[in-house]
Amino acid sequence: MDKQILQVTSALEGELLSERARIVQLCASITGNVDIAEDLAQEVLLEAWSHLHMLRDVDKQKQWMNGITRNVCLRWARRTGREPVQPLLLQDEDGDEYNAADFLADDYDIEVALEHKELIELLDRALALLPVETRTVMIQRYIEETPLAELAARIGARPNALAMRLQRGKLALRNLLTGELSHEAQAWLEFVRKTASEWEETSLWCVLCGQQRLLGTIDAQAGFVRVKCPVCCSHPDDVITSSYLPQTLRGIQSYKPALRRVLRWVDTFYGSGLERGYVACTHCDKTVPVRYELPITAPTWLKGSSRLHHTINTSCPFCGSDNWAALDCYALAAPEGLRFWQKHPRMRLLPINEVEAQGRPALLVTFESVKERASFSTLFERETYRKLDTFTEEN
């Protein structure tokens, strides 16, 4: 039975793609705008694909697609303040006219739901929870009405890849609004709003510069901690870490124990990921490859430093969750690094050096004490970030 269902689903997906030319023509006919028709057709196909399980009668797939096309075009007309150029009556294969809305699943019509003030407010809050990259492209595409091709060119992505990214953003929104993460998302949002202007000075020194006390916010009930340096994090949105780990941090009320737990989690999570080449997403549990690239959501202090190309990125392309760590954070998270931090609480990060070790290109990450002549260093293989050696110097 499962095999049969998969075969039917695969066949339907193939038919959806074959409908593209007709949908483009239909969008152009309804809107009177040939330039926007391609973008609208892409949106129609993505919505049809993501709601394929709601097609109640396979024999009426074409009418169902027409209904989705109608909704998408109506949304576009409503957002742009334009009127459709023809009555929204469509024809079936026999030439008979019909109202396409009659063939939509009753619970599919998003327009009805979006008219409710409560849902609009909820969507606003959910958007605020999405990763910056995902939120930005969704706002530019669906709120600012930037054409898909123009937006893709602006961010340097292929239109098809951007379309899938937008679809994943929609799925992430749905997870936040209706899935098992809804309660956690709401708690996180309330905490961020409550603490947005409640940064407090901690007793911990910034490990980047070693000159400033860290500012922080912590919520023991939600399992959330953020810290930033008032000098290194010059942009208002920059932080050194923003960690939401309920299973790890819930009940922890002090900053140093919380950060030590975060670092131990970093050592286990990314250590395992670097060894296997993939991780399980902490939100949706999908398999995510480890990438050695700077995330778009990286703070300005990271983009402008020697740490630029030295990050471990496991952000999820499926649910849109943001998850990455700088290589020096991973170095400090090792047991030897935690012991050095315990003994030398005021230290700073030195520029990361490219060296040769064991006959291969390597990276040398070093923290040095501000008060004593002591340092902790880790050697990483340049291409894979595999740890080659760690050593501590004490004088």
**Residue 41 pLDDT level (bands cut at 50, 70, 90):** confident
177, 122 Cβ separation under 8 angstroms: yes
How does strand 347-349 pair with strand 353-357?
unpaired
What pLDDT, in 10s, does the model give residues 203-217? Answer: 999 999 999 999 999
Q: How much is the average pLDDT of 319-347?
A: 91
- 46 in Cβ contact with 167 (< 8 Å): yes
Q: What is the pLDDT of residue 59?
A: 67
In a domain, 153, yes or no: yes
Q: Using pLDDT thresholds of 50, 70 and 90, give the confidence band for residue 182.
A: low
Task: Report yes or no on 118 lying in a domain.
Answer: yes
Main-chain dihedrals φ then ψ at residue 166, nearest 5 degrees: -65, -40
Helix, strand, coil % over all residues of the chain, rounded to 5: 50, 20, 30
Cβ proximity of 296 and 313 under 8 Å = no
Phi–psi pair at 235, nearest 5 degrees:
-75, 140
223 part of a folded domain = no
What is the model's pLDDT at position 297? 62
Most confident region among 174-183, 194-203, 329-338 by mean pLDDT: 329-338
Structural domains of the chain, count: 1
Domain-located, residue 130: yes
Q: Give the pLDDT confidence of 300-326 residue by residue, as tens digits.
A: 666 665 455 688 999 887 777 778 899
As a whole number, mean pLDDT of residues 39-44 equals 83
**Whole-number pLDDT of residue 9:** 41
Q: What is the pLDDT of residue 266?
A: 95
Q: What is the average pLDDT across 17-44?
A: 79
Strand partners, 91: 97
Residue range 178-195: mean pLDDT, rounded: 52
Tell me, yes or no, whether 133 lies in a domain: yes
Predicted local confidence at residue 99, as pLDDT: 42
How much is the pLDDT for 136? 79
Predicted confidence (pLDDT) at residue 383 exceeds the cutoff of 70: yes
Q: Is residue 24 part of a domain?
A: yes
Q: Is 385 left (phi over 0), alpha (psi -120 to 50) or beta?
A: left
Mean pLDDT of 10-16: 50
Structure tokens at 395: 């004088």
**Band of residue 392 on the pLDDT scale cut at 50, 70, 90:** very high
Q: Quick one: pLDDT at residue 107? A: 32
User: Is pLDDT of 111 > 50?
Assistant: no
Residue with tokens 């202007």: 197
**What average pLDDT does the segment 67-76 reach?**
79
Per DSSP, which regions of the chain are E strands?
Answer: 89-91, 97-99, 200-205, 213-219, 224-228, 241-244, 278-280, 287-289, 311-313, 324-326, 347-349, 353-357, 360-369, 374-381, 387-394
Two tokens, residue 322: 């943001």
Query: What is the distance between the alpha carbons of residues 140 and 150, in angstroms, rounded to a whole number?
Result: 10
The whole domain housing 56 covers 2-178
Percent of the chain with pLDDT over 70: 68
Q: Is the pLDDT of residue 380 over 80?
A: yes
> Residue 335 pLDDT more than 80?
yes
Per-residue pLDDT, averaged over 165-190, amounts to 60
- The residues, any chain, with a CB within 8 Å of residue 388's CB and separated by 6 or more, are 357, 358, 362, 379, 380, 381
Q: pLDDT tier at 140 (50, 70, 90 boundaries)?
A: confident
- Distance between CA atoms of 157 and 136, rounded to whole angstroms? 14
- The mean per-residue pLDDT over the stretch 270-297 comes to 86
The per-residue pLDDT of the chain, averaged, comes to: 75
Q: Is residue 21 part of a domain?
A: yes
Residue at 271 is within a domain: no
Lowest-pLDDT choice from 102-116, 216-230, 305-319, 329-343: 102-116
